[in-house]
Structure 1
Amino acid sequence: MKSRDAALDGIRAIAALGVWLLHVGSNTGVMYREGMIPWMMSRLGIAVPIFFLLSGLLLYRPWARAVIENTPRPRPLRYLWRRVLRVMPVYWLVAGLALWAWSSFDWAGWLKWMLLAQNYFPDDPAPDGLYQMWTLPIEMSFYVLLPVLAWLLHRWARGGNRPVRLLMGIAVLPVITVVTVVVARLFEQPQLALTLPYNLVFFACGMAMAVLSVWIGHSRVIDSLAPQFFILAALLYVLLSTELAGPRTLTLPTLPQSLWRVSLETAVAVLVVAPFALASRPGSLRNRVLGNPVAAYLGRISYSFFLWHAPVITLQLKLTGAQPFQGDFASVAVVSFVITMLLSVGSYHLVEVGALKLSRHRSAPVPPPAAPAPRPVAPAP
């Protein structure tokens, strides 16, 4: 099995901490105060596009390698089985506890949440402690669609320069996002923001990086420009943290604000990930910082951290009797971080690791008898 990329795990860790800090700030009201810092805190949702981009990068790369290097393609059923076992067991644990504690759903409501269908029923009230779960139906939609996209791109790429044609095919996907954003705003359909087409541009950028990583490998240009990439990402994040990208509250943005926000989030996510996806160098400062053992481990447990942090914050606020948007930021941050970390370590080792071992065991390919040794299959991330 291919070893994990420690630096990409470090990016996951920072993204998960960003989502946690965003929700601490919103639940305590700090995010809605005046000043640049609260505005910048309100845009920590940039973590979600980064998560989506990483999914596109890591999950599409075996298919891109199959097209460019003629290696065997991933088996769709095996791939989907691994995705289900990667996502669902610990999700069922966290969501089930929160639903049991704070919802009054009947069996139909439970079924919607257990099957990650909650985004398709936007009029249903969201239970306390599960407000972060809107991203998972989008992720799962991409997981299910990816084998179909990969098959279409594979057929399209056979007619010429394969890497270039793959990139041309992937370039269609951001157009779908632009059309969806326009429809959502012009026809007042805000629930479209909870669907895959609205967010497809982030996955598409990751898929494009997957093609480039197989095609060109290590890019000396991106390696040399990595500091400038990070500086530009920081400057664009400051621009994202203004009214240009929409309000901080639940007030719906205008069409120009929505387009600016999607564009800026895409640019920031690409600039942050590209130096590690296309110019990874273990000895570089950036890889040593984000790929250190602590950051890498936090990245491995980041999914559990993402799931647990909102129920923990909710429970803490309920136990302390804090009024909405008036909790103490420092105490909520410290207590929620410590408890979430402990729960995340436990669920990672007791649930996630076991599910991943099961996925590898059940999906291990059986070599055909009396046949030449097959070429190595690219491991699924």
Structure 2
Amino acid sequence: MSSAPNADHVATLTGLRGLAAVWVMLLHLWLLAGAPVLQVAGIDVTAPFATGYLGVDLFFVLSGFLLARPFLRWIDGFGGFPDLRTYIWRRALRVLPAFYVQLAILLVAARFADGVWPVDGLQLLAYLSMQFWLHPAMGGLLNGVWWTLPVEWNFYLLLPLLAWVLARARAWLVVMAVLLWVAAFRLAAYESLFSGVLIFGIPTEVYGAGMINQIVGRIDQFLAGLLAAWALLRLGARGVRFATPALLLGLLAMFAMVLDLHLNGSVIERGRVPLLFWHHTLTGAALACVVFGAAAGAPLAQRLFGGRVIGFLGAISYSLYLWHAVVFQVAHDTGFVHWPPAAGLGRLALWLVPVVLAVSWLSYRVVERPFVQLAHR
């Protein structure tokens, strides 16, 4: 068994993070413009915009791939068990400062705009603890994209336990247990959401689609990234042989999925059974192939995801993800989207995307990067 080269800072993976953030941003920009039908040379190209929420799935798979590597090295005998205090401290410094700064700005802005604080003490505590998905009276989030943050944070907390289980049980048994769990959970959530049945006494609106999208219903996507990292670790230098086939397989599967979602609608919102029970699993598997191919050195991945522009977007991807929705919300609330020189998707993009990039870059340089450097020190 040979150790794989360090893939933590592969340029193509940074590029994939940039793709994930931009994909989500394009979805919201398209919705802000009124969800128009887009055509190029008579060909409908709306699908990539309408399915931008798949960028979130890519973020989750990437997290599973990158964060699991130190634990997988320990499982395979390449080092000791990662120090949990250091691990949690680094994760906290990576995600909390940018979130807290934005939370403070939005709270103060809402206070000045409306004359009252938008959250009470318990809601503020839920935000600060990254567990606001559990608060039954949370209401609308101050920033709609924040719903993904507890998913990521709770994976950080769950990962050491998952690694410990993988080290002491057959991997295929753990994988099967996770897949059975998510399928059964999604079935229960579906029954709750579409039939009004209460599960464990939890109200339908809390337990339904929102819970499917939380860590209890999406752990399989992080697991897909973890398994891709494990495969690369065990294959070592031999992984390059499988890089291009894995990348092409993943891209082809995602192309088919994008078309299906565009033509037939959201799997969860439309309750498309039985696909609803396996949609996140299939998406995670396809994206894990893409991530594996990129990390293993597929030349096509370098051409697609290794450029300077997409690398820059990957570097600022977290701030880009956080701030684009705020900029778009301001544009909507002020009526900017109806201003004739800004009407339409193309003109909106010309006005708003530079603002998003500037704000995101500022957040990255002033807030994110100093704390990332502190974490590494």
Shorter-chain TM-score range: 0.7 to 0.9
Q: Give the C-alpha shift of residue 127 in structure 1.
A: 4.1
Where does residue 122 of structure 2 map in the other structure? 108
Show the counterpart of 2:202: none
**1:7-46 map, 5 Å:** 7-30=12-35, 37-46=45-54
| Structure 1 position 67, deviation (Å) | 1.4
| CA distance in 2: counterparts of 1:94 and 1:312, whole angstroms | 12
Q: What secondary structure sits across from 2:79 in the alignment?
A: coil
How many percent of aligned residue pairs carry the same amino acid?
Answer: 26
Q: Check whether the contact 1:232–1:271 (CA below 8 A) recurs between aligned residues.
A: no
Question: Is 1:341–2:362 an aligned residue pair?
Answer: no
* 8 Å Cα contact 1:184/1:192 also seen in 2: yes
Matched, 1:135 2:148: yes
Distance 1:332-1:224 versus aligned 2 partners, 3 A rule:
closer
**What's the counterpart of residue 243 of structure 2?**
223
For 1:77-116, list aligned pairs within 5 A: 77-102=85-110, 104-116=118-130
1:262 aligns with 2:280: yes
Distance in structure 2 (CA, Å) of the matches to 1:234 and 1:205: 19
1:151 shift after superposition: 1.6
Per-residue CA deviation, residues 151-207 of structure 1 (Å, 9 max, x unaligned), is 222223xxxxxxxx3354244323222121111001223131242111111001011
CA shift in 2, pair 1:315/1:341, >3 Å: same
- DSSP 3-state at the match of 1:104: coil
The change in CA–CA distance for 1:117 and 1:336 in structure 2 (over 3 A counts) is farther
What's the TM-score, normalizing by structure 1?
A: 0.82
Q: Given the superposition, is the C-alpha separation of residues 90 and 229 from structure 1 closer, same or farther in structure 2, using an over 3 Å criterion?
A: closer
Instruction: Tell me the equivalent position of 1:205.
Output: 224
SS of 1:25's equivalent in the other structure is helix
Contact 2:250 2:287 in 1 (8 A): no
Counterparts of 2:154 and 2:53, CA distance in 1: 20
2:372 aligned residue: 356
1:53 matched residue in structure 2: 61
Partner of 1:275 in structure 2?
293
The verdict on how the C-alpha distance between 1:122 and 1:336 changes in structure 2, with shifts beyond 3 A counting, is farther
1:169 is aligned to 174
User: Which of these residues, 132, 153, 156, is aligned with residue 166 of structure 2?
Assistant: 153
Structure 2 distance, partners of 1:332, 1:315, is: 13
Q: Distance in 2 between matches of 1:39 and 1:295?
A: 21
**Superposition deviation, residue 36 in structure 1:** 5.5
State whether residues 174 and 204 of structure 1, in contact with CA within 8 Å, keep that contact through their aligned partners in structure 2: no
For this pair of structures, how many residues does the alignment match? Answer: 344
Task: Tell me the SS of whatever aligns to 1:23.
Answer: helix
Cα deviation digits, residues 121-156 of structure 1 (max 9, x gap): 25432145x001100001000001111111222223
How far is 1:15 from its partner? 0.8
Report what 2:204 is aligned to.
none
* TM-score w.r.t. length of structure 2: 0.82
Extract unaligned runs of 5+ from structure 2.
Answer: 1-5, 111-116, 194-206
Judged with a 3 Å threshold, the aligned counterparts in structure 2 of structure 1 residues 236 and 317 are, in CA distance, closer, same or farther, namely closer
Between 131-140 and 342-351, the greater mean CA deviation after superposition: 342-351
Distance in 2 between residues matched to 1:220 and 1:5, nearest whole Å: 14
Contact 1:180 1:198 (C-alpha < 8 Å) held by counterparts = yes
Q: Give 5+ residue unaligned stretches, structure 1.
A: 157-164, 362-381
2:201 is aligned to none
Deviations 1:315-354 (A, max 9, x none): 122223557xx96423332332111111111111221111
Counterpart of 1:341, as a letter, is L
Q: Distance in 2 between matches of 1:55 and 1:167?
A: 21
What residue in structure 2 maps to residue 366 of structure 1?
A: none
Counterpart residue identity of residue 344, structure 1: S
Deviates more, 1:223-232 or 1:131-140: 223-232
